[in-house]
Amino acid sequence: SDCTVKRPYLLERAGFDITDPSRISVCIFAIPYLPPAADAPDRNLSSYAVCEDYHVFVRELAQALIPALQADFQSNRFALFADHSPIDEVKAAIDAGLGVRGKNRLLLTERYSSYVFLAELVTDLSLTPTPSPLPPELRVCHACGKCTSACPMSAEGGECRSALTQKKSPLAPDEQHTLAHFSRVWGCDICQEVCPYTARARARGTIYSPIPFFHQNVLPHLTVERLDGMNDEQFSRRAYAWRGRDTIRRNLEYHEHHTRFGKEN
């Protein structure tokens, strides 16, 4: 991908010479993550949190990939980024032809819909960019509006309910009520589930990840008991670990209280 470096300090930390950004090449990856376990009827986590944290996958990939590349290209530098990236990952993936931008701001791919994580290999090895086969005006979805129509927060002008599940500060009474009545204790997924790209990928049978990592240690339904049963190492490998145990436990307690006593309250 031929893309603009937005956070050069990340490249500088990785040892790159950033005086000439044109010498930086990027290989962008769309990594499918959806496991069949995400279809569990009692799932209460966003689909990306059913498997272990993709940051763990990227870290383990880097540990295998970077030394192998370094052995073959000893005079060049390589670094693997995901999420906290020196570039706009979605734009780079679109420019490289991996998919289009949805109204939900996610990358939509034909094979896996939006159930992909983005990562990129950055190098000072000279590579020829692979341009997108689509002109700029077609690098967006058809804007059918299903994602925005289905989103319970778009009509209210609020942010995604996923942000509410990640909120660390005390919740206002209306936020507590929303969280208690929501089917997720972490994340959301509504805009992904109603997307036509998702329907097509499911119909073709391509939507699930072929990568073994995302099929191991899956946990679609989290409870306080299961949370407390995780040791620190196990917890650190879950997507919600960065917010700490207290935040996810609070969400579970609101939800479980409503499930038990909702009819009386």
Q: Nearest to residue 82, comparing CAs of 53, 103, 102?
A: 53
The predicted-structure confidence for 115-152, as pLDDT tens digits, reads as follows 999 999 999 999 988 878 888 887 889 889 999 999 98
Contact 147, 195 (CB under 8 A): yes
Q: Kindly indicate the confidence band of residue 264, based on its pLDDT and cuts at 50, 70 and 90.
A: very low
202 CB burial (10 A radius; 0-12, 13-18, 19+): middle
For the whole model, what pTM was predicted? 0.91
- 124 catalytic per annotation: no
Q: Which of 20, 39, 72, 83 is catalytic?
A: 83
Query: Residue 256, Cα to own-chain centre: how many angstroms?
Result: 26
Residues contacting 71, CB < 8 A, separation 6+: none
Q: How far apart are CA 119 and CA 134, in angstroms?
A: 21
User: Is pLDDT above 60 for 234?
Assistant: yes
Total Cβ atoms within 10 A of residue 126: 10
Q: What is the pLDDT of residue 255?
A: 84
Q: Kindly indicate the confidence band of residue 169, based on its pLDDT and cuts at 50, 70 and 90.
A: very high
The predicted-structure confidence for 83-105, as pLDDT tens digits, reads as follows 999 999 999 999 999 999 999 99
Q: Nearest to residue 53, comparing CAs of 236, 227, 196, 249?
A: 236
Q: Kindly indicate the confidence band of residue 261, based on its pLDDT and cuts at 50, 70 and 90.
A: low
To which H or E segment does residue 79 belong?
strand 78-82
